Structure formats: structure tokens, C-alpha cells
Amino acid sequence: MTKKRELPQILSSEICAKSRFFAIEQVKLRFSNGVERDYERMKGGGHGAVMVVPMLDDNTMLLINEYCCGTHSYELGFPKGLIDPGESPIEAANRELKEEIGYGAKQFVALKSLAMAPTYFGSSMHIFLASELYAEKLQGDEPEPLDVINWSLGDSDQLLEHDDFNDARCVAALLLAKKVLAKKAIS
């Protein structure tokens, strides 16, 4: 168990670079031992994000194949997106499902909220397991239709080895979902 530490004092902060998606903030800190240091971080400006592991049935997950600009590749992953102002994480998760895979869900289980690169980025992603899916399509903001892929939960080891399944958040979501689903299967 780690002991609770005193947070550094923020002496100053200012935006030093900005794009339409990101703001980089320079933060001057004083630690409890008196050491002062400048840090830079991507300033979180939104309400966080969601990722959903949708279960079509007890053994079938739905994945998407989506273009990822950061790696300039198509990647397999789970539906995800930002939480809009005024939305709860579950509402955002259900909206993203409808936009990206054409299903809503009646049942959501919160798996975990993950920090995304907490050393440099002040944002979190809420991971959900979704079941009791029903067909409903909403218009999303994707530039092209997403491929929806059925994947057997029993073949999740092959998914982990798949060349196009690389997003660490998706790997974490899969492992968290498998843990919950294994407990459900036992009861």
C-alpha cells in the first residue's frame, strides 16, 4: 500500500501551444521538499471519454475496424468516444454504440475508469460492458462507415495476438470484460 503524499503546489500555469483539439499547458510546481520544476501537460478540456465492450450474446463481442490517424493505420477496437456536455458516461456509451455499431444496450456494467497517460494528459476514459443489445442507428461523426466485426469471446487470445488490435485501452477493456464475464458464468 502506498502512503498518501502531499501534492505539489501549482505556482503558475499557462497555455503554451494550442490546436483545435489540444492545448499544452506549462505548469510550474513546488514539491513538498522545496524543489521547483516546470512540467508540460495536455490540458483536458472535455468531460472525459467512454469505451464499450458490446456483447451481442454471451459469447460474441462486437468490434469496429477504424482508421487511426496517430498510427496511420486501421485498427480493431471497441466503440469509443467523447462524453458530450450534459451527458452521463452511460448516456455517452449508449450514444457511441448507436453511432458506431448500430446498436443500443439495455444493460451496462461499469468496468473501470482509466487514466490515459496520467503523466502528461489530464483525462479519463470510462470502460463499460454492454449487453441486451437492440438495433438502433444514430448518425455519427466518422468520415467513413465503420466495419463491425463479430468476435467470439472464446477467441480472445487470438484477438490479443492480432496485428491490428493495438490500443492499450482496448486490451485493458477486453481483460476487464473477460474477468466480469467469467464471474457471471460461474454464478
pTM for this model (two decimals):
0.88
| Cα separation, 184 vs 187, whole angstroms | 5
Task: State the Cα torsion 85-89-92-96 to the nearest 10°.
Answer: 140
Tell me the per-residue pLDDT of 68-104, one tens digit each, with 9 for 90 and over: 888 899 999 999 999 999 999 999 999 999 999 999 9
What is the secondary structure of 67-92 as a DSSP string? EETTTTEEEEE--EEEPPTT--HHHH
Residue 140 CB coordination number (10 Å): 17
Tell me the per-residue pLDDT of 106-164, one tens digit each, with 9 for 90 and over: 999 999 999 878 888 878 899 999 999 999 999 988 889 899 999 999 999 999 999 99
Q: Where does 49-186 sit in CATH, by number?
A: 3.90.79.10
Q: Where are the domains of the chain?
A: 9-42, 49-186
Do residues 77 and 168 make contact, with C-beta atoms less than 8 angstroms apart? Answer: no
pLDDT score recorded for residue 118: 84
pLDDT score recorded for residue 181: 93
For 173, what's the count of Cα atoms within 13 Å in the CB-facing half-sphere?
A: 32
Alpha-carbon torsion 176, 58, 156, 146, what sign? negative
